[in-house]
Amino acid sequence: MIYNFKSDYLEGAHPSILQLLEATNLTQQEGYGYDEYSKKAKDLIKRLCNAEGEVFFVCGGTFANLVSIAHFLRPYEAVVCADTAHIATHEAGAIEASGHKLITVKNREGKIFPDDIKRVLKYFKDEHRVKPAMVYVSNATEFGTVYSEDEMMQLGEFCKENNLLFYVDGARIGNAAAYLGYRDFGFVSKYCDAFYIGATKNGGLIGEAIVINNDKLAVDFRYSIKQRGGLLAKGRLLAVQFLGLFEDNLYFKLAERANKMAKKMADAISNLGFEFYIQPQTNLLFPIFPLKFAKKLNEYYGFYIIDEFDDKCVVRLVTSWASKEEYVDKFTEDLKSLLEVCD
């Protein structure tokens, strides 16, 4: 294989994070998140949120979603989300395993809107059904599309009016910010009860920062993290990721680069005459290729074929902060060669 575009977690960490790990390594620190780096990293994050909130570090996106939703909801309460939501498709039923039903809504390019949610709510009236209590969206979505600040605001208002919590999965919130031109998290944080900022897919080795803007939801949250096995003795490891990423806007710069690489690739693909299953916005591309092209390319480049129909298929290509531009170029050149050979 020449190069891998399967995902945005194929490399380790941005080098500056490893440097910070080394620089801080032998200081003695309190355990379980009471170290000085955790304190500093939380302060940095709060400043970027334009909202009062509490910050908690955990070890993964599935864990972040699971511990938050399970902590926020009563046992019979349910989450409304897109049928393509990560929690509904790629988290091994973690939310149901914590006892909560997911009420899925047909997505529109990965997104859902107040009207979509309104349509399902009317069926939930009494204890024979679950009680819808939260709306979950991902921003950027699992298709790489982005909710604008206005759309976030409308979802937030809808939730308030309908007595629903509003939770945002920010595994790729950096890519959303980069697409919208922001270098802070206000466009999400101002409108939701809680969200998380993912480090793993944007330059960190590990780590998600859960931001809880709703005071009541934050009460005893450390109990839930601990009880589910997510309170690291060496909390400094997580803190240092975020310290490094929010030094000098590194987090946003890395996402901007990932999006830029994707855009370069998308433009080239488009110029070659291919269509996209979903219009590209961030670092996930879903071009439609002839199946035989995809299979040939797949011998040299890592990526997923996510759907097939007749002699065509939808491919998922992912760029990241670490993607090498030469391979982004080479990929589209090889695609072009395939085209020429076939003509």
Q: Per CB under 8 A, does 42 bind its own copies?
A: no
How many angstroms separate the CA atoms of 145 and 259, rounded? 12
Nearer to its own copies, 66 or 176 (CB): 66
| Coil/strand/helix, residue 261 | helix
Q: Per CB under 8 A, does 11 bind its own copies?
A: yes
Q: Which stretch binds its own copies (CB under 8 A): 46-54, 129-137, 252-260, 273-281?
A: 129-137
How many angstroms separate the CA atoms of 244 and 342, rounded? 48
Q: Per CB under 8 A, does 120 bind its own copies?
A: no
Q: Is the dihedral of CA 91, 193, 78, 98 positive or negative?
A: positive
User: To the nearest whole angstrom, how small is the minimum distance from the Cβ of residue 186 to its own copies?
Assistant: 27
User: To the nearest whole angstrom, how small is the minimum distance from the Cβ of residue 251 to its own copies?
Assistant: 17
Q: Per CB under 8 A, does 76 bind its own copies?
A: yes
Site for its own copies in 279-308 (CB under 8 A): 302
Nearer to its own copies, 66 or 178 (CB): 66
Q: Per CB under 8 A, does 125 bind its own copies?
A: no
Q: Per CB under 8 A, does 75 bind its own copies?
A: yes
Q: Which stretch binds its own copies (CB under 8 A): 75-83, 111-119, 144-152, 157-165?
A: 75-83
User: To the nearest whole angstrom, how small is the minimum distance from the Cβ of residue 209 to its own copies?
Assistant: 15
Site for its own copies in 185-214 (CB under 8 A): 200-201, 205-206
Q: Per CB under 8 A, does 227 bind its own copies?
A: yes
Q: Per CB under 8 A, does 21 bind its own copies?
A: yes
How many angstroms separate the CA atoms of 283 and 280, rounded? 8
How many angstroms separate the CA atoms of 310 and 313, rounded? 8
User: To the nearest whole angstrom, how small is the minimum distance from the Cβ of residue 79 to its own copies?
Assistant: 10
Q: Per CB under 8 A, does 277 bind its own copies?
A: no
Total residues at interface with its own copies (CB under 8 A): 78
Q: Per CB under 8 A, does 67 bind its own copies?
A: yes
Among 106, 119, 234, 292, binds its own copies (CB under 8 A): 234
Rg (CA), the chain: 21
Site for its own copies in 140-179 (CB under 8 A): none
How many angstroms separate the CA atoms of 8 and 235, rounded? 24
Q: Per CB under 8 A, does 129 bind its own copies?
A: yes
How many angstroms separate the CA atoms of 16 and 14, rounded? 6
Nearer to its own copies, 152 or 199 (CB): 199
Joined tokens for residue 223: 């109990």
CB 194 within 8 A of CB 217: yes
Q: Per CB under 8 A, does 222 bind its own copies?
A: yes
User: To the nearest whole angstrom, how small is the minimum distance from the Cβ of residue 214 to its own copies?
Assistant: 16
| Coil/strand/helix, residue 39 | helix
* DSSP class per residue in 142-207: TTS----HHHHHHHHHHHHHTT-EEEEEETTHHHHHHHHT-SSSHHHHTT-SEEEEE-GGGT-SS-
Q: Which stretch binds its own copies (CB under 8 A): 58-66, 245-253, 266-274, 329-337?
A: 58-66
CB 172 within 8 A of CB 282: yes
The contacts of residue 91 (CB under 8 Å, 6+ apart) are 61, 62, 65, 66
Of 142, 133, 210, 124, the C-alpha closest to 166 is: 133
Q: Which stretch binds its own copies (CB under 8 A): 38-46, 149-157, 223-231, 311-319?
A: 223-231
Nearer to its own copies, 64 or 177 (CB): 64
Joined tokens for residue 274: 């291919």
Q: Per CB under 8 A, does 4 bind its own copies?
A: yes
